[in-house]
Each structure stands twice: as C-alpha cells, then as structure tokens.
Chains A and B, each alone.
Chain A
Amino acid sequence: MSANNDVLLHVDNLVMHFPIYRGVFQRQVGAVHAVDGVSFDVKRGETLGLVGESGCGKSTTGRTILQLYKATAGKVLFDGADLMSLKREEMRWMRRQMQMIFQDPYASLNPRMTVADIVGEPLMVHNAATGKEIQERVAHLLELVNLSPSFAGRYPHEFSGGQRQRIGVARALALQPSFIVCDEPISALDVSIQAQVVNLLEELQEQFNLTYLFIAHDLSMVRHISKRVAVMYLGVIVELAERDELYSQPLHPYTQALLSAVPIPDPLADARRKRVILEGDVPSPVNPPSGCRFRTRCPIADKICAETRPEFRQLKPGHFVACHFAERFLQ
C-alpha cells in the first residue's frame, strides 16, 4: 500500500507518444505528443474532472491509465500497485478494479451480442459467476441502471442512445470496480438524456463508493459532478484545483479563456463580463511549441515562456498551475 491511503490513483509524469512511420522502410519520422508529462492524484471516492478541448489528450490520458496503450514513460500507481510493471495476466486480473464508460454509446456495444451477453461478459471472463448466477446478476445490474431486466435478450440496436449508455454503465459495474474512467460519457447524448445519465452516475457513486475520472469538454457538467477539476491543454495539465476554487479564481490564462466562453443564461450578466477570446488554433501535437505549450495563443506570453517549460507548482493549498505569471492573478 502506498503511504497515503486516501489516494486511489497516482499518476506520475505520464507520457504517451504515438510514433509516426513513413516510407517503404517504415522509419519513424516523428511522434504525436498526445500526453506529455501529466501528474495527478485521484482520491478515494472523489470525482476528478478532466477538461480540455478536442485533441488535447484527455481521452488518451484515461486510456493510458487503464493500460490500453503502452505508455512511453511515467508511472501509474493504482492502490499502490504499479500498473506498468504488471504482467499481462496480472493486469487482466487488475481490470476487475478499474473500468471505463465510453463516449459513443452506439460504438461501444458489440452489435452481435445481446444485452445479457454484453453485461454478463465481464462476469464470465473473470469466472465471477456461472450459468444461472450470471443471469441473475445481469438482471440485477440492469435494474441498477433503471433498465427492465426483460431487455436482457435484446440487441443494442433496439435501444436509444441513453439506454445504450446505461447498458455500458451496467457493464462497467458488473465486476464491482472501485475506479471508473468516464470518457465523455454524456457528450454523445441529447441534453435531456445527459442529466439522467449524470444523476445515475452520481447515485451509483454514492451507493458503491466509486471513484471517477470524469473526462469531458462541457465545463458546466464537470462543475456539477466533480470535486476537483484538472484542465488540459495540448498534452499537459495546466491547472488543477478544487472545483469552486478553479471556477471562481482561475490562475491560468487558458482556464480563464475557457471559463469566459461558458454561456451564462442571463443576457445582462453576459454583456457585462469580459470575454477572453483566443487567437489562432491549437498547435499540432506532432510538433508542439517549445517552453510553455500555451504561449502561441496566450495573451500574456513573454520571452521566458518560449524558453522554459513552466513548472506545475502549488500556488495555493490544493491549487496547482503551470504558468510563469500565475501570481498576477492571485488576489
């Protein structure tokens, strides 16, 4: 066990580069720097929100933690166990503890398997239950996610998006894991269904003392569900803080820009606030900018930003930020 028993997942300087091969001889000509040195802790029973725009590496981070990709460098400690040093079979066993909910409920269920097969497969492959017991557990799991157990014999295409996502949740819960990576679980759903699924996730968290890594790009949804929030930009975490702290006093210019883009359902308040509009596009992760990743679009960038990579430092208790000039925003 690790020294700190509160921490369920400890990610230390995680790096994931996808090599790019070219030519007849498949020489490596470069790499996509999808995740480039990410460190954070997730405490038992909490929800850590991970936000950032498309392509910033949030999903890759989640998948690399679950060892779906072989990380280029770094360390992932889960409940004290170093996941990267585990053998294949040990890792397979470890997967009972850590599950994932996928973004696209249409793509994440095998169309040739019935709901009973899909939800029951984890139990089967881990010999957690047999025969009749699997059926009972599947029925129970379906009830847990508010689906009728009579749906067990049906195929995924007979369900709506929200229903499918709940089947995915039931599958993730089957092995009674302690940690679930929610990879944008609601962004493919109708707004009316999003609330249902989020509330279900919250209910289940309470009931089973689950720990979530909640990946999303919807800031208000993350604010609703998370206890702490990490903001990612181009493969690095730029800011990490308690939810209320981050939303009320963002210290990184990127976080400020993101928050100022959240619509406020009040035209007067909306007119009064200052919008930070970012210039240009996100640079290519194949060839990221030197120094600070954000400097090419940062309104306060200076010389030092191009030269040294800002340290990810604790500026206030529990509030981490990677910016040379973050002090400016401290009150």
Chain B
Amino acid sequence: MTETTPSGDNTLLRETAAIREIGRLERFLGPENYRIMVGLLKTPASIIGFVLIGVFIIIALAAPVIAPPVTPNDPYKIPRDGFSSEPQPMGSPWTRKTPPVPFWYEPIMGTDQWVHILGTSQGQYDVFYGIIWGTRTAFRTGLIVTIATFLIGIIIGSVSAYYGGIVDNIIMRVVDIFLTLPFILAALILAAVLTPRIGKSLFPAIIALVTFGWMGYARIIRGDILSIKERDYIMAARVIGVKDSRILFRHIIPNAIFPTLVLASLAIGDVVLSFAALSFLGIGTEVGYADWGQVLSFARNWITSLNTYWYIVVWPGLTLVLYVMGFNLVGDALRDVLDPRMRGKS
C-alpha cells in the first residue's frame, strides 16, 4: 500500500489527460449539456425541425426583399387590392396600388407583372404578404412572450426554492391556482379586457400570454435548484466561506438553468399557436395587421365554400403548422435525448 508515492505518477497523469483532449464547446457546455447538443444534432427529426426553424428565420429577416412593402412606414399592414369581399384566386394581377416588384421576381416568373402569388382573402388582403410579414410577428411575439415568461418564472422559482419554507409554500400554491385556470380561456378574457384599455396592438395578447404562461418555468427551475442545492459542491462552497449570493448566482443557477432554458427555447412554437388562436378570435391586433391568426380569420366566412377558396386557409394554415412543427420536432428529439434510458447511446 505504501509502494506508490504520489509523486511517481505524474507522467501517467499527463498521458491519460492527453487522451481526454476535448473540444472547446464541450468544455463550455459541460459533458451533460454537450451530450444533449450532440444528441439533438444527430436525430433526423430534430434536423428537420432545425431546418424548418432556419427557413422561417431567413423569411423573417428577408421579408422586405421577399415582399417589398407598399407603405414602408408601416410594413406590417397587409396591402389591400380593393374592398370586395370575395377572395381572388392565386395569380390574379394587382389592380390598384401595386407594390414595388422585388428583384428576384422577374428571373423566376419571366414577367414584371406583380400578381397575388397566393391569392387574396376576404377584403382583398394579399395572403402572400400576410404570411411573409406575419413570420416576423410570429418570432416577435414568440420571443417577447417566451423571454418574459422565462424571466418571471426564473425569478419566482429561484426565490421560492432559495427561501424555502413558508415562502416556498405560498408561491407554489399560487402557481397551482394559476395552473388550474384553462390557459386559452383565461388569456382570451384578460386580452379582451385589456384591449380597450391599452388599444389594439400586439400587447394585450402578449400580456395575457405572459400572465398565464410563467408557471411551468417557475416549477422546473425550483425543482432543479432544490436538487442542486443539496449537491456536495454547494456544501463545499459553504465550507470555503462563499457568500450566499455568490453561491446562488455562481454555483446554483448556472447548474440549474439549462433544462428551463431548453424548455423556453422550444416554447416559441406553442406561444405562436396560442397567439394565433387569440388573433383568430379577433383579439389583439388591428384588422389587416400581418399575423397568421389574422390571415386565417379572414377565411372564417368562407368555410362552407373552401373547395373554391382553399388557398385562403391552406397557405396560412400550412405555414403555422410547419412553424409549430419545427419547434415540436426539436422538442420531441430533446425529450428523447433527455430521457435517462437514452444515456450512453448516441
């Protein structure tokens, strides 16, 4: 037992360390998170999801090029081509206030005649514009709602877990109460109440979705903090004499936040779906604002004759489906990767 002097194995240590050489990303993320990343990038479903999300990001960024706005000051206003209620089919030409023709149009279509690529909806709103500029609305509302709910959830969950005891109990019961409310209905009512007070814009719906959307994050971060709090390295930090605030921000939260972060990044799809539902029901934005729910709602009166006017519901519907599917595919893959039984594979 006394044969091995500790100084004797230095060379051995150097050698084994050389074998464990790893990349910068793995170092930064830590082994567990890195494994999740690699797992995600290797699953076909999640690759499709990432591609879909990527395409939508490109569409959102390139909106002014894909569909040049008629009124540059207010690009989110869907251009109208007249006021008649009957939808016009795909490919019908613009009759008045033709928007500027983008540079990519002529090489592809062989003409500089700007048409309603995806037709017009009730009230002659151009479906193509609604979808392209609606992508920006989707990301905007998705990001605002997700970031806001995430921050609120993190703060409430951290406070709850950190103080524990009676504070924790009260906060968690409040969370339970919020969770009993039917999400869409509660959001609908709150948005409807808010709209006359703060005016028609994206905000009533955003506020409503944030108000009823933070509980999941609060619960998850609380659970993770409670589990991290009991780890030996937290005790080690206390032995060293690290102050409580530093323990929370340097030791607990960096280790606890990843699952919540992942959940939040994938919730963008769901948020957009809820937002579209509110918008379809006429809550929130001004009529004619580029937003998928709004474009879909134009089709409401034509449901009985959709075999003629299918394009007014199929295109915006398909867009919404693909968008949500992109996030959900990544989410499903993530759930598989996070499944403990999958550990060690991939």
User: Which residues does A use to contact B, with CB under 8 Å?
Assistant: 63, 66, 68, 92-93, 95-96, 98-100, 102-104, 107-113, 121-122, 125-126, 145-148, 151, 154-155, 157-160, 163, 168, 171, 175, 192, 195-200, 203, 224
Give CA–CA (A195, B254) in the complex, Å. 35
Q: Please count the residue pairs between chain A and chain B whose beta carbons lie under 8 angstroms apart in the complex.
A: 104
Is A107 a contact of B232 with CB atoms below 8 Å?
yes
The minimal Cβ–Cβ distance linking A93 to chain B, given in whole angstroms, is: 7
Report the bound CA distance from A92 to B241 in whole Å: 5
Contact A121 B232 (CB under 8 A): no
Q: Is the CB of A196 within 8 A of B239?
A: no
Bound CA–CA A157/B27 (angstroms)? 9
The winner among B13, B236, B251 for most chain A CB atoms within 10 A is B236
**B8: min CB distance to chain A, Å:** 9
- Is B232 within 8 A of A102, CB to CB? yes
Q: Apart from A68-B238, A100-B236, A158-B22, what are 5 other A-B pairs with CB-CB below 8 Å?
A: A102-B236, A108-B233, A122-B241, A158-B27, A203-B6
**B226-264 interface code vs A (CB 8 A; 1 in, 0 out):** 000001110111111111001000110011000000000
Query: Which of B16, B231, B241, B246 lies in contact with A126, CB distance below 8 A?
Result: B241
Residue in B16, B239, B250, B255 whose CB lies within 8 Å of A95: B239
- Contact (A200, B6) CB under 8 Å given A111-B30, A125-B242: yes
CB distance from B260 to the nearest CB of A (A): 15
- CB<8 Å pairs between A and B, sample of 23: A68-B239, A93-B241, A95-B239, A99-B240, A100-B236, A107-B232, A110-B251, A111-B30, A111-B32, A121-B240, A125-B240, A146-B6, A146-B10, A148-B10, A148-B17, A154-B27, A157-B31, A159-B17, A163-B13, A195-B1, A196-B4, A199-B2, A200-B6
A108:B243 contact, CB within 8 angstroms = no
Whether, in the assembled complex, B14 has its beta carbon less than 8 Å from a beta carbon of chain A, the answer is yes
B341 interface contact, C-beta 8 A: no
**Smallest Cβ distance from B179 to chain A, in angstroms?**
19
- Given contacts A121-B237, A199-B6, A160 and B16 within 8 Å (CB-CB): yes
Bound-state CA distance A175–B7 (Å) is 22
Count residues of chain B with CB under 8 A from any CB of chain A: 36
Bound together, the chains give a CA A108 to CA B5 distance in angstroms of 25
A99 to B1, CA, bound (A): 26
Assess whether A146 is in contact with B7, with CB atoms less than 8 Å apart.
yes
Q: Are B9 and A146 in contact (CB under 8 A)?
A: yes
B1 near A224: Cβ-Cβ < 8 Å: yes
Q: Report how far A197 CA is from B9 CA in the complex, Å.
A: 12
Closest to A198 in B: B1
CA distance A38 to B112 in the complex (A): 93
The answer on a CB contact under 8 Å between B239 and A66 is yes
- 8 closest Cβ pairs, A-B complex: A95-B241, A108-B232, A107-B232, A200-B6, A92-B241, A157-B31, A110-B233, A122-B240
- Look across to chain B and name the residue whose beta carbon is closest to the beta carbon of A114: B27
Give residues 1-51 of B contacting A (CB, 8 Å).
1-7, 9-10, 13-14, 16-17, 20, 22, 27, 30-32
Give the docked Cα–Cα distance between A76 and B12 (Å): 43
Would A195 and B30 count as touching, CB distance under 8 A? no
In angstroms, how far is the closest chain B Cβ from the Cβ of A190?
12
A50 CB to closest chain B CB (Å) equals 17
| Binary CB contact string for chain B from 260 to 299 against chain A (1 if under 8 A, 0 otherwise) | 0000000000000000000000000000000000000000
Q: Are B13 and A155 interface neighbours, CB within 8 A?
A: no
Query: With a CB–CB cut-off of 8 A, which chain B residues contact A163?
Result: 13
Residues in B with CB closer than 8 Å to A171 are: 236, 240
Q: Are A196 and B6 in contact (CB under 8 A)?
A: yes
Whether A157 touches B239, Cβ cut-off 8 Å, given contacts A107-B232, A112-B255, is no
Quick check: A100 and B241 within 8 Å, CB to CB? no
Interchain CA distance A196-B4 in the complex, whole Å: 6
**Which residue of chain B lies nearest to A153 when distances are taken between CB atoms in the complex?**
B27
In the complex, are the beta carbons of A125 and B233 less than 8 A apart? no
Q: Is the CB of A107 within 8 A of B239?
A: no
